[in-house]
A and B are shown apart, each in its own frame.
Chain A
Amino acid sequence: MSAGSRNTEPWGGFDDNLIQGGSSAVIDMENMDDTSGSSFEDVGEMHQRMKEEEEVSAEAAAAEDDGADDGEFLGMKGLKGQLGRQVADEVWQAGKRQASKAFNLYANIDILRPYFDVEPSQVRSRLMESMIPVRMISFPQKVAGELYGPLMLVFTLVAILLHGMKTSGTVIREGTLMGTAIGTCFGYWLGVSSFIYFLAYLVNAQITMLQMLSLLGYGLFGHCVVLLVTYNIHFHLLFYAMWLLIGGLSTLRMVAVLLSRTVGQTPRLLLCGMLALLHMSFLLYLHFSYHQILEGLLDSLEGHNMAPIQRVVRDVPEVTLNATVRSLGGMLMAQ
């Protein structure tokens, strides 16, 4: 808090600002504490000079007089005096330092930065690879440790789920459509990843949490494709075929990676069986829980208030195309 004190005496000496008066408004409190005996006359002189200053700057002093009655017990002007201001300033600086340290420690998004260091071509190739099961399981397969692709895939799944729920007029009794969709998708991704990681930890498989998150996230690509198609083309047989084919391929890929990183028959069976079961049943669940096959589906897009129909298991005799994605469906089929 000292404004340019360049003295070497232990009691602080005289700063120029005490004498000149107009240049600085700060008095260094640290130097004032010393009441050693060698400077009585000097202290008296100092006080005389300060009195002169007071006469010269009467207007500024008038502002200070407001706090003259407060804090008399310490002989200072209390909270409004110079000491109070300096203390408050110190407290503020210390608090600010603490807060920014805590913020940098906990809210630092740079912790996540290496996981988002990807190029679009890498993401594309990883999406394609997630559908191709690897042949070699004798040595550990490389798993990319990135979070951008999985995160985007989870959000895409949320969007597709929302589309499916809205189109079929699903009524959620407690909660909202959006909350349900987000909760389901993120819950699956994080929950099943943690569960499989826990099992992997138990059987000593060589996979980290980040790799598991990444693997399962990319495995959702197959789910996205299947749901996008079957929420719009309501054909049971088509769904089952795609469930087996595309769902099966992405499950096989994940299973192969896990197999390559686990030793022992029983651990392999446990881990891979669990993952396959959960992954395939999630796709089934998504299709059948959030999507009801309604006759006259087009009515729901025309703005009529429709009472939701109870879900009944029936064979759809013909293919019902969703009007909104008729062209989209055509494009998808063409690809």
Chain B
Amino acid sequence: MTSAEEASRPFAGLSDVSIPDIPVEGDISLPVASSARDDEFSTLDEPVKETILRDLRAVANKFVHVLYPKRSSVLLRDWDLWGPLLLCVTLALLLQGGAADSNDQGGPQFAEVFVIIWFGSIIITLNSKLLGGTLSFFQSLCVLGYCIMPLTVAMVVCRIVLYTASGKVSFAVRLVVVTASFGWSTFASTAFLADSQPSNRRGLVVYPVFLFYFVIGWMILTFSP
């Protein structure tokens, strides 16, 4: 503290000055406009219902784009993972409880489906990035997740069919429905993913997607309550 005393002695004349304050204490005038700028982008003050509805509308919009797959960039521009999560949880819940011996296999099936979908998507995304794709990680995840929707619809249909009919007829119907939705899913996801790949490697990217939806389709087809 001696250095401070030495420093303060010559300052005795300036009695209204407190030296430690000058160097480090700032009365900074912030531009007043900054607070107004924040209010425009802040969505903290809106009611919760509005926030949820906005997200739900975005998700529903993307569902529509999956149902009619054209070359559009909506899924890519505003990607979100709500839709994939909803679909994954729905599918996993519907697939629950079907097993040859339900005591042993009822539990793991939810986790099984969840893990398959997410890790499968991650691996396909990594593969497409390594092959020279231009999509970002989360954009690919978003596309692959949304394109599970036809398979989820097929699962619902299969469950209904299993309750109403049984035997060869039900199997034939389920086979047709699952095959159609599997083809639809693969086609929809390639419509979004293929543009980002160099043209000669499209097949290399499409094959794992095909395998992925095939495995999911197989799980749906062989489901028995």
Q: Which residues of A contact B (CB under 8 A)?
A: 21-22, 25-27, 29, 32-33, 35, 37, 40, 43-44, 46-47, 50, 53-54, 56-57, 59-61, 63-64, 74-77, 81-83, 109, 112-113, 115-116, 118-120, 123, 148, 151-152, 155-156, 158-159, 162-163, 166-167, 169, 171-173, 175-179, 300-308, 323-324
Given A29-B23, A53-B27, A303-B171, 19 more A-B residue pairs with CB atoms under 8 Å apart are A21-B29, A22-B29, A25-B28, A56-B29, A57-B29, A60-B32, A75-B18, A82-B24, A82-B25, A109-B129, A152-B207, A158-B215, A166-B222, A169-B100, A171-B104, A172-B105, A303-B162, A306-B100, A324-B175
- Contact present for A60 and B29 (CB under 8 Å): yes
B158 nearest CB neighbor, chain A only:
A303
Question: Are A303 and B224 closer than 8 Å at their CB atoms?
Answer: yes
Question: Which residues 14-41 in B have Cβ within 8 Å of A in the complex?
Answer: 14, 17-32
| Majority SS at the chain A contact face | helix
Give the CA-CA distance A29 to B102 in the complex, in Å. 69
- Cross-chain contact A159 with B211 (CB below 8 angstroms): yes
Question: Could you tell me if A176 and B112 are in contact, using CB atoms closer than 8 angstroms?
Answer: yes
Known: A40-B10, A155-B211. A171 touches B29 (CB 8 A): no
- Asked if B101 is at the interface (CB within 8 A of a chain A CB), the reply is yes
Chain A residue with Cβ nearest B126: A109
Query: Closest residue of chain B to A111, judged by CB?
Result: B130
Q: Which of B81-89, B139-147, B196-204 contacts A (4 or more CB under 8 A)?
A: B196-204
A60 touches B28 (CB 8 A): yes
A119→B201 contact, CB < 8 A: yes
What are the residues of chain B within 8 A of A83 when measuring CB–CB?
24
- Our pick among A81, A163, A175 for the contact of B25 (Cβ within 8 Å) is A81
Q: Would A120 and B112 count as touching, CB distance under 8 A? A: no
Q: Which of B18, B23, B171, B222 has the most CB of A within 10 A?
A: B23
Would B23 and A44 count as touching, CB distance under 8 A? no
Which residue of the partner chain, among B14, B170, B207, contacts A44 with CB atoms under 8 Å?
B14
Q: Does B109 contact A (CB under 8 A)?
A: yes
Q: Chain B's interface: helix, strand, loop or mixed, by majority?
A: helix
Within 8 Å of chain A (Cβ to Cβ): is B70?
no
Contact check, B24 vs A75: say whether CB atoms are below 8 A apart: yes
Q: Which 7 A-B pairs have the closest CB atoms?
A: A57-B29, A75-B20, A32-B23, A116-B130, A303-B224, A176-B108, A25-B28
A119 touches B25 (CB 8 A): no
B204 touches A35 (CB 8 A): no
The distance in angstroms between the C-alpha atoms of A292 and B112, with both chains bound, is 23
A-chain residues with CB within 8 Å of residue B100 when the two chains form the complex: 169, 171, 300, 305-308
Contacting residues, chain A, for B102 (C-beta < 8 A): 305
17 inter-chain pairs at a CB distance below 8 angstroms, sorted by A residue, are A50-B27, A53-B27, A59-B32, A75-B18, A76-B20, A81-B25, A109-B130, A116-B131, A120-B204, A152-B207, A155-B208, A167-B222, A176-B105, A177-B105, A302-B167, A303-B162, A323-B171
Q: Assuming A152-B207, A303-B224, is B29 touching A53 (CB within 8 A)? A: yes
A46 cross-chain contacts in B, Cβ below 8 A: 22
Central interface residue in A35, A77, A306, A324, by most chain B CB within 10 Å = A35
Nearest CB on B from A111, distance (A) = 10
B116 contacts chain A at the CB level, 8 A cutoff = yes
- Among B29, B162, B221, the one with the most A-chain Cβ atoms within 10 Å of its Cβ is B29
Q: A25-B29, A112-B130, A120-B201 are in contact. Are A75 and B21 (CB under 8 A)?
A: yes
In-complex Cβ contact of A27 among B28, B115, B127 (8 A): B28
Bound CA–CA A44/B11 (angstroms):
9
Contact B25 A75 (CB under 8 A): yes
Instruction: State whether A148 touches B175 (Cβ < 8 A).
Output: no
Indicate if the CB atoms of B204 and A27 lie closer than 8 Å. Answer: no
Chain B residues whose CB sits within 8 angstroms of the CB of A74 once the complex forms: 20, 24
Q: Is the CB of A76 within 8 A of B130?
A: no
Picked from B101, B104, B203, B211, the residue with its CB within 8 Å of the CB of A156 is B211
Contact (A25, B31) CB under 8 Å given A179-B112, A303-B170? yes
* Chain A residues with CB under 8 A of B167: 302
Are B224 and A82 touching (Cβ within 8 A)?
A: no
Judge whether A302 and B18 touch: CB under 8 Å: no
Flag whether B214 is at the interface (Cβ < 8 A).
Answer: yes
Complex Cα distance A115/B132, Å?
A: 12
Q: Is the Cβ of A118 less than 8 Å from the Cβ of B130?
A: no
- B138 in the interface (beta carbon within 8 A): no
| B30 contacts A60, C-beta separation under 8 Å | yes
Report Cα–Cα, A63/B24, bound state, in Å.
18
